[in-house]
Amino acid sequence: MKNYIFFISFVFLFQGCASQTTTNLVDDELETVVTENLAYYLYYPENYKVQKDKDFPLLLFLHGGGESGDTITAIKKNGPPKMIAEGKQFPFLILAPQNSYKNKWWNTRALNQLLDTIVANNRIDAQRIYLTGLSRGGGAAWEMAVQYPDKFAALAVVCGMTPVPYASWIDKKMPIWVFHGTEDKSIPFEESETMVKRLKSMGYDVQFTRYDNVGHDSWTQAYQTEELYQWFVKQKRSD
């Protein structure tokens, strides 16, 4: 069964400047509406229905470009969704949306609205929301951490493009784990290496796992790392 979330944004476009009186310059505004259709999977841990008085952590997983713009089942090719399909049990909910555009970036504002909706309608501990993504989804995970620094308890990025100039916008109290293959030809290893160095120089809590002689597919090893999930469940926001 497919689930969808519709994202609507209202943007005011200001043309001109009130302080100028040139006859060719007109002050006006235009309300625009943008919709985003996000199909998603939502995984519930086995004991969710039994422990009805408990709030559970949630992991937001963002897939790579290869799973974009296809049927929803494409999400199961990699990462936690693939492991769930193979029978693995996780101790938290997992929200796995799909980017419906093959050649477009994730709409992080739409993702944030989807996440807020899922949190509001399920028993989720808002202090224990985790974020992870691979490749294009890894880049979106970095962007989410920059745009919504008060939302996530932990971040794990696998071979994602990095927003180095905005590193200081990320919550300094949020632990981060980065994974990347040294022979990555799609998103160079140096992307993660430079970001990690910048964050560490500013006192961030960052772990960096490098896979020597591994190309772009560093996600297979990264998401098979059981310590990653143990690390996630130990994290909780203190604010």
How far is Cα 212 from Cα 1, in angstroms, rounded to an integer? 40
Helices (H), the chain: 79-85, 108-120, 136-147, 189-201, 219-223, 226-234
Confidence at 17, pLDDT banded by 50, 70, 90: very low
Band of residue 42 on the pLDDT scale cut at 50, 70, 90:
very high
Quote the CA–CA distance of 2 and 70 in Å, as a whole number.
Answer: 13
Closest listed residue to residue 145, CA positions, set 167, 118, 125, 165: 167
Q: What is the mean pLDDT of residues 152-170?
A: 98
Cβ–Cβ < 8 Å for 118, 92: no
Distances from the Cα of 151 to the Cα of 126, 160, 203, angstroms: 8, 20, 20
Section 188-205 average pLDDT: 98
Average pLDDT over residues 3-32: 61
pLDDT at 153 over 60: yes
Per-residue confidence band for 235, with pLDDT thresholds at 50, 70 and 90: very high
Write the pLDDT tens digit of every residue in 86-138.
Answer: 999 999 999 999 999 989 999 999 999 999 999 999 999 999 999 999 999 99
Whether residue 21 is predicted with pLDDT greater than 70 in this model: the reply is no
In terms of Cα–Cα distance, which of 230, 174, 181 is closest to 208? 181
Task: Report how far Cα 125 is from the mean position of its chain's Cα atoms.
Answer: 17
Q: Which domains does the chain have, with CATH numbers?
A: 38-234 (3.40.50.1820)
Structure tokens at 136: 């294009």
- Residue 14 banded pLDDT, cuts 50, 70, 90: very low
> CA 215 to CA 211: how far, in whole Å?
9
Mean pLDDT of 47-67: 96
Answer for the pair 146, 229: CB distance below 8 angstroms, yes or no: no
At residue 67, the 3 state secondary structure works out as: helix
Average of per-residue pLDDT across 133-148: 98
The model's pTM is 0.89
Whole-number pLDDT of residue 8: 46
End-to-end CA distance of the chain: 36
**Mean model confidence pLDDT for the chain:** 92
Which band of pLDDT confidence, cut at 50, 70 and 90, is reported for residue 15?
very low
Is a pLDDT exceeding 60 seen at residue 13?
no
**Contact between 27 and 15 (Cβ < 8 Å):** yes
Give CA 117 to chain center in angstroms: 15
